[in-house]
Structure 1
């Protein structure tokens, strides 16, 4: 290699390294091995060329079209859009919780069969990411959002107008499947637009959106079913999702840098007549098979669950927590009916969890600063995945405290506000744990981050689908206090998890072929 060529290659490598250090790669990007695009030149024209390959289309320095260089207002706009869509989707999962009696009367079925409308939706949320995640690698974020959310909106109509149970349940599953794009792809959009140094708080906001949604679902459905027909539960979602679809079309731009560069390359080929111009993403996609990619994304999560004990334990922990959250959608009516609550008031009882989650989000800037201090002092500038876990340590202690508080204050003789205050503590704890588990998983399992998160999503959805089905029998058979204390006890057993991984996580990762070492 000549000195000139060597210098050119080195220059491009340095540029690529600089970009990689500032961009927070998404799970799917890391797993498929696609490097962030470099920024080789200072001008817009330079964006069409690379020092090493003059036909390679890359970003120019400070390129306004690079999502990392978008204005703060535009970044916040996209963050709000994807978080709001995720909130709407997950709200749709639990909004059914106060409509069970109407469904039972309409279709002449038992309470457990009516609860299948919740369970099948959540199963769809768990399966969907295995297909929709890879599609975003090929076509970008925006096409996946538009197609999946349009399907989510349209398939919600048969749910609202179903004249038999089979139609109702089938389309509940399909709407969950289509809506899952905002649980699997939207995190990538946040990573697209915020640099690693700035992403902690935006990601915490997005992460809590999908968990606040289920909490506020019963609140909304309580007011609906107290005052009108149960079908208005789903007509409300139809209206809401239609409004969100319009907002998504108008204010949800493409943010996936490789897809944007592919669009730029196509435009430049047309404008210049130079058919040799190309973007790296075009060649990556041409060399990959979509069916094979989907097959890999569908099987690897289960391989990881079978072979990675650390990941399995993290998935089990987060699955247990989401299972308990969804179990509460059946348990709270049992608990607060003894306080004389009607449907509206039962829905309002979930505000405690929601307030707790919002308190957790409000404290995230403090945790972000703590993380930075750990990197600087304990890591000597190296960001170890374990530095994400202190927030989970606090959450692991707060959560069972909140649950025991709730368990032993649910007696009718105790004012109803006391157990709800316990759920505030529960809400803070569950939010802390989810935030830490997600960031730790994607950091520790960076080479296979998409599959690791898909394994977590499938595990969570499985528990969330199953727990409501036995909640009533559990709370009747074990009593309200006994069942709640039992669930709190299970979470006491999980307290050591973040502490053990904080101390020994690096050694455990060193023995794995899938983790970052």
Structure 2
């Protein structure tokens, strides 16, 4: 079996839309795909390449509809991860929590997002994106409401964990859906539009939370986000269409078998599993796919880059407010406004990064001497630009904060840092989507596992680091770690990526 990206032409054959055609055998000599299935097989349920019902061939408006629904859903789920940060002292006082327990109530949500995608990503490759999105939406809503009604610290922490588990679906579903409907040359634009709103969520969460904590009960933090979530559930039920081709194709194949009584009608996906002992073994193999993918060197290197970036983001998000309240003597409400610099940095990085990514991909493909029309490594050079800017931003942020320079200079430093991190991170996500075309959700779940762990763990040592080293040397340490991680890791993929792809085992 040909590995990974080399299977793309064959895998595209099973990306289908809600109503499918059976391709009848053409005249002429029989041919085979890279997966060993005859293309002239009249019983192979597949799409013709130009069929407009294929998610890859949907109208642009329909593609943007599913993209925008995921974007708005991601905004709320990511915002909930940080919105309670300014209210932690009030929550701790109300529920008799010590500082460790209060921090746990905030960060346990992120811990849940490490484990949720490991199950949710593969399940979307069994039951389809639409069903899993709806179930996760309802699950998140129920437990987020429970957070608002919590009367004990144990209930709050448990409800936060379960809400985070439901919220984590967006981390694996979003990339999977984008891979389902957008072609590689459109990857940058689709990612930039999708990320536009969710990136605001993590940054504006503390802003909204600060004002709500100062003017009403902390419980409205959860009730208000639950109202928004309920609206998004209604929208997704009416406007979100199934995008996962193999799932829809299997439904069509079952219908054909039922109507004709001929069991030879099968999808390419079903034929790949022919000979396996039982449906339970297939189910178990699917659920363990993200963990098995973590054994792939490509996933390991990509996960290290993404996890380090994500951990640094949550170092900033968890400590930025205390800088302004403790060092600059600003109020909680005003301190939250500085997160606008964080949001602007990430949004600017995503929008510019998306444009540069698509242009670079087309340029690199045109100058390829190997004839490879779809070399995923064409994404990688953009990461070096981001890896250069992020350490500079952290150095500016650290030393200007250390000497209490005007707030605008500090915010400029954090803008540059997050701008660079976003430009470095987007190509890695696109790279993984390009590699694991059919199992994008599982591959992104593997990445998210490490990302969420660093987001959970890094803020735990952040206060001690800044107390011991100060903002200047503390951010020096961050910048130097960034240089030694964010440069060599992409270089490994740039040099050895094609060789690693050739040796990689199948993601089935």
**TM-score bracket for the superposition, by shorter chain length:** 0.7 to 0.9
1:353–1:381 Cα change, 3 Å: farther
Aligned 8 A contact 1:393 1:498 in 2: no
Q: What is the 5 A alignment of 1:36-51?
A: 36-37=13-14, 47-51=21-25
CA separation in 1, counterparts of 2:479 and 2:506?
31
Determine which structure has greater relative contact order: mean sequence separation of CA pairs < 8 Å that are 6+ residues apart, divided by chain length.
Answer: 2
CA separation in 1, counterparts of 2:376 and 2:55?
25
Q: What is the 5 A alignment of 1:48-447?
A: 48-51=22-25, 52-60=40-48, 62-207=50-195, 210-265=198-253, 273-276=259-262, 278-280=265-267, 288-289=279-280, 291-297=283-289, 299-304=291-296, 308=297, 311-337=299-325, 338-363=327-352, 364-382=354-372, 383-411=374-402, 413-443=404-434
1:392–1:515 Cα change, 3 Å: farther
The Cα shift of 1:274 comes to 2.5
1:285–1:197 Cα change, 3 Å: same
The Cα shift of 1:119 comes to 1.9
- Write out per-residue CA displacement over residues 163-183 of structure 1, whole angstroms, 9 at most, x where no aligned residue: 111111111111111121111
CA separation in 1, counterparts of 2:42 and 2:438?
30
User: TM-score scaled by structure 2?
Assistant: 0.85
Aligned 8 A contact 2:176 2:433 in 1: no
- Write out per-residue CA displacement over residues 131-152 of structure 1, whole angstroms, 9 at most, x where no aligned residue: 1112111111101111111111
CA separation in 2, counterparts of 1:61 and 1:318?
34
CA separation in 1, counterparts of 2:45 and 2:303?
40
CA separation in 2, counterparts of 1:311 and 1:254?
27
1:385–1:264 Cα change, 3 Å: closer
* Local SS of the residue matching 2:358: helix
CA separation in 1, counterparts of 2:506 and 2:43?
35
Count of residues paired in the alignment: 478
Q: What is the 5 A alignment of 1:483-494?
A: 483-494=474-485
2:37 aligns with none
1:170–1:474 Cα change, 3 Å: same
The Cα shift of 1:411 comes to 4.4
1:156–1:279 Cα change, 3 Å: farther
The Cα shift of 1:447 comes to 9.3
Aligned 8 A contact 2:210 2:332 in 1: yes
